[in-house]
Amino acid sequence: MSITLAMLLAAQTGEAIAPQVPSPPAPPVVVGAPDAPATTPGDPDRTEAEVQRSSAAADVVVTARRRAEQAQNVPIPISVVGVKELDATGSFNVQRLQQLQPTLQFYSTNPRNSSVNIRGLGAPLGLTNDGIDQGVGVYIDQVYLSRVAAATLDFLDVQQIETLRGPQGTLYGKNTVAGAINITSRAPSFTFEGRAEVTVGNLEFKQAKASVSGPITDQVAIRLGLAATSRRGTVFNVATGNYVNEQDNVGLRTAILYKPSEDLSFTLAGDYSRQNPECCAQVFVRVGSTQRAANRQFDALAAALNYEPPSRDAFDRVTDLDADLNARNELGGLSLRGEYALGEGTLTSVTAYRFWKWLPANDRDFTGLPITTLSQNPTRQDQYTQEFRYAGEGKGFDYVVGLFGFYQDIHTTGTQRQGAAASRWLIAPPAGGCVAGSTALACDPSVLDGLTASNDIRLKNFSGAIFGKLNWNVTDQITLSPGARLNYDDKVGSYVSIVRDAAGNLVPYSGGTARQAAQRDAIQPQAFEDEAFRAWNATYDITASYKPSRDVLVYGTYAHTFKSGGLNLNGVPVVNGVVQTQLAQIDPEKVDHFELGAKTQFWDRRVTLNVTGYWTQISDYQAIVNNQSTSTLRGYLANAGKVRVRGVEADFSVRPSDRFTLYVNGAFSDAKYLDFENAPCPPERSGGPAAPIGSPGGAAGVPGAQSPVLCDISGQWLPGISKFAFSYGGEYNLPAQVFGNDGEAYVGIDANSRTKFSSNASRSIYTDIDGYTLANVRAGFRTDSGVNVFGWVRNAFDTEYYEVLATTPGNTGLIAGNVGDPRTYGLTVGLSF
């Protein structure tokens, strides 16, 4: 996604630029932003309106550096998407937004188990852990959101979204090593205005969005916004007769602006979002042979239990999950932002409270068998933040200094219960199999039926920082921008898992009967309390930029930064009854980042070409690992060697006339583990008898072969990122008149393509996802008065693709996955005034 896409698609709603408009278009509105300077490209044969439209990309105003400035003048790779593009492309959440931005990745099997990555970095794919920070910061109106679950909810009354690539921390409250998503809501207005949009489509899709703003007094203005989305599920559950994986979102936002003088303003904002779908089912995808004994692999176990999945073709979109499904997700809060013009700058204070409640129900055996009948981790989080920031300027320089404080309190109460088929599925049967009268543990359903783990997970997390950034204009063309951050983290957490059998008897950490040992192999009880991580960390960076002309900017950046350490709150190995609490702490990631970039415009700013090359190397990468000092095969979160991500990104756009626009954005990414010797093994090298420590084990995918305790995956791909990714599209319009209303008819297409990527922490032959292309088209009519009516088709060619593939518990070889949306279509009617 280019910073120019906001202008290329600008004609896609009633608020957009239209031909033959006598007044010039305004740049995106940013609270506190000065008017963008006028541009006067020098073609005397072009009208003033044409000049301003073609140069509009240069006037995209961003606040990436905590001051309002034109995006093309900021030496940071930024993608900007405005409200017009979000509406026209149906990008109403981060999952949709990623289709416009090749370097943004979003993966989710449910709102809690979600990750937002930039350039393949951010959070480990496949493991949610309360005890670590995200690598990508999500900010809404300058308030940091610590839970990525917010990314699954609808955007509420958004003005624009800036995606900053590369480490941030010397300008932003929370340190982030991969980048930041900066979401700006539409501000209260002292001029009465409003907008509304209604969409209907197939799969019973319904969406309504509306906002209204205006003055209460000469000094007070208010804004109200709401959004609601619902859609029938895309997967049919034959066990319940319901469609699952539906959408059911509601959100409300209000903001009050008090402006007692030109130098002082306060904005009080509150929001609430609720998501309550019957979700989230992963369907049968395939079976791949593991090293587990042949009679303990999926097909043999299914036959022994007289079970067959409802379909072995994932794109039949059917399942038979027999446990409850729910993904209730609530998020909201209050914020107070004050801005005061003080001296030669602006003093800003942002005070905020946020809450997040997660009330799930899952089927974690991924089948219609009663193996795991209850799996849920209800969570409550309360978050408080305070930021003070001063952005000032002097003769030949400007700067930002800030103080940031963050406190988070998380309480998760998880429950896992095994069912009547668990013993046969999880315990090795006798050589002759289960026959009448057998006393083998695998043949006795009562061994694991009703076995229940009650988990209590707590975290208290404080982070405080002082940070600053200086921009020193060495000459009219050369600027040096050093930055620094001093950060302190204090995390205290507990993990307690108590396991009882169906009769309520405690399962001991070690020892006991053979029956209890089998129960412990299914669910390991453990506990550690008041584990703490405390550390100081320093970050610094420097950017040098050179601007030889108005339309060319060249820059280079080096950043030495970190991702905060934390606690492993998903449990750690237990060896001979001893909980390995030394593995509860996770060291910070240490990051060295290099970047070179150029931002250019030519042909009277009708063409924009931005290119960035980067190299990021991380030591002590936070990942799922196995520990060589133990004989356990349990995966947990810890530090693992080195990772390197390098690549080239290019954003190109052209507007040869008012009638036609075109954009192409691409990314080449080389993302690898450089040193990862203690990784969990992929399914084809798991499930068999344990090989001696240090042994490579037997042949992959051969039943009964020995499985290594750990695997060296140095040189393998990082999960979730394609080597090549592109987004591209354009629009053509013509003057038209409908029912006596002057306007324009338009047709547009937006598409994205990506190559193969890995969907497993350790790359597996069973979980690579083939590349695919998605194309979305739209056609409609809009007027200068703000009416916009258009039809749309998403995934126009009905491409069959997977969003995520996952291995399932027990090393049976079952691979489950999330299938992407089929072709959808609908009609949108919008009005703004």
DSSP assignment of 699-731 equals -TT-TT--B-SSB--TTPBPTT--SEEEEEEEE
Q: Which two tokens stand for residue 171?
A: 């300008």
Confidence at residue 626, expressed as pLDDT on a 0 to 100 scale: 61
**Each residue's pLDDT tens digit, 461-491:** 999 999 999 999 999 999 999 999 999 999 9
**Each residue's pLDDT tens digit, 303-337:** 999 999 999 999 999 999 999 999 999 999 999 99
The mean pLDDT value for 535-543 works out to 95
**Each residue's pLDDT tens digit, 67-112:** 778 888 889 999 888 878 887 787 878 888 888 899 999 888 888 8
The mean pLDDT value for 454-461 works out to 96
Confidence at residue 439, expressed as pLDDT on a 0 to 100 scale: 87
Q: Which two tokens stand for residue 13?
A: 């709603």
State how far the Cα of 672 lies from the Cα of 677, in Å rounded to an integer.
13
The pLDDT of residue 224 is above 90: yes
Sign of the Cα pseudo-torsion (715, 716, 720, 725, in order): positive
Q: What are the Cα distances from residue 551, in Å, to 544, 545, 649?
A: 17, 13, 19
Backbone angles phi, psi at 155, to 5 degrees: -65, 140
Residue 57, classified by CB atoms within 10 Å of its CB into exposed (0-12), middle (13-18) or buried (19+), is buried
The pLDDT of residue 426 is above 90: yes
Confidence at residue 260, expressed as pLDDT on a 0 to 100 scale: 97
Token match 């903001």: residue? 255
The pLDDT of residue 627 is above 60: no
**Each residue's pLDDT tens digit, 116-128:** 899 999 887 766 7
The pLDDT of residue 503 is above 60: yes
Q: What is the DSSP letter of 429?
A: P
State how far the Cα of 352 lies from the Cα of 330, in Å rounded to an integer.
17
More confident of the two residues 173 and 472: 472
Confidence at residue 15, expressed as pLDDT on a 0 to 100 scale: 34
The pLDDT of residue 658 is above 70: yes
Nearest to 524 by CA among 457, 451, 424: 451
Identify the band that residue 154 occupies on the pLDDT scale cut at 50, 70 and 90: confident
Residues 6+ apart with CB under 8 A from 546: 477, 478, 553, 554, 555
The pLDDT of residue 575 is above 90: no
**Each residue's pLDDT tens digit, 772-808:** 999 999 999 999 889 999 999 999 999 999 999 988 8
Q: What is the DSSP letter of 151?
A: G
The mean pLDDT value for 648-672 works out to 95
Q: CA-based diameter of the chain, in Å?
A: 96
User: Does residue 324 contact residue 375 with C-beta atoms inside 8 Å?
Assistant: no
The pLDDT of residue 765 is above 90: yes
Nearest to 457 by CA among 112, 80, 190, 84: 112
Counting residues of the chain whose pLDDT is more than 70, the rounded percentage is: 91
What's the whole-model pTM score? 0.89
The mean pLDDT value for 275-296 works out to 95
Identify the band that residue 361 occupies on the pLDDT scale cut at 50, 70 and 90: very high
Backbone angles phi, psi at 629, to 5 degrees: -80, -10
Q: Which two tokens stand for residue 795?
A: 């995934």
Query: Residue 113 half-sphere exposure, CB side, CA atoms within 13 Å?
Result: 21
Q: How much is the mean pLDDT over the chain?
A: 88
State how far the Cα of 697 lies from the Cα of 690, in Å rounded to an integer.
8
Confidence at residue 37, expressed as pLDDT on a 0 to 100 scale: 34
Confidence at residue 631, expressed as pLDDT on a 0 to 100 scale: 33
Confidence at residue 126, expressed as pLDDT on a 0 to 100 scale: 63
Confidence at residue 525, expressed as pLDDT on a 0 to 100 scale: 93
Residue 496, classified by CB atoms within 10 Å of its CB into exposed (0-12), middle (13-18) or buried (19+), is middle
- Proportion of the chain in helix, strand, coil states, percent, rounded to 5: 10, 50, 40
Q: Does domain 5-832 have CATH number 2.40.170.20?
A: yes
- Indicate the residue type of 86: L
Ordered by start, the domain boundaries in the chain are 5-832
Omega prior to 434 cis, within 30 of 0: no
Q: How many residues does the chain have?
A: 833
Confidence at residue 421, expressed as pLDDT on a 0 to 100 scale: 96
599 beta partners: 553, 610
Identify the band that residue 394 occupies on the pLDDT scale cut at 50, 70 and 90: very high
Confidence at residue 714, expressed as pLDDT on a 0 to 100 scale: 95
Q: Mean pLDDT lowest for which of 9-23, 133-147, 397-411?
A: 9-23
State how far the Cα of 73 lies from the Cα of 206, in Å rounded to an integer.
40
Residues 6+ apart with CB under 8 A from 706: 291, 688, 689, 690, 691, 695, 697, 698
Backbone angles phi, psi at 71, to 5 degrees: -60, -35
Backbone angles phi, psi at 422, to 5 degrees: -65, -40
Confidence at residue 638, expressed as pLDDT on a 0 to 100 scale: 81
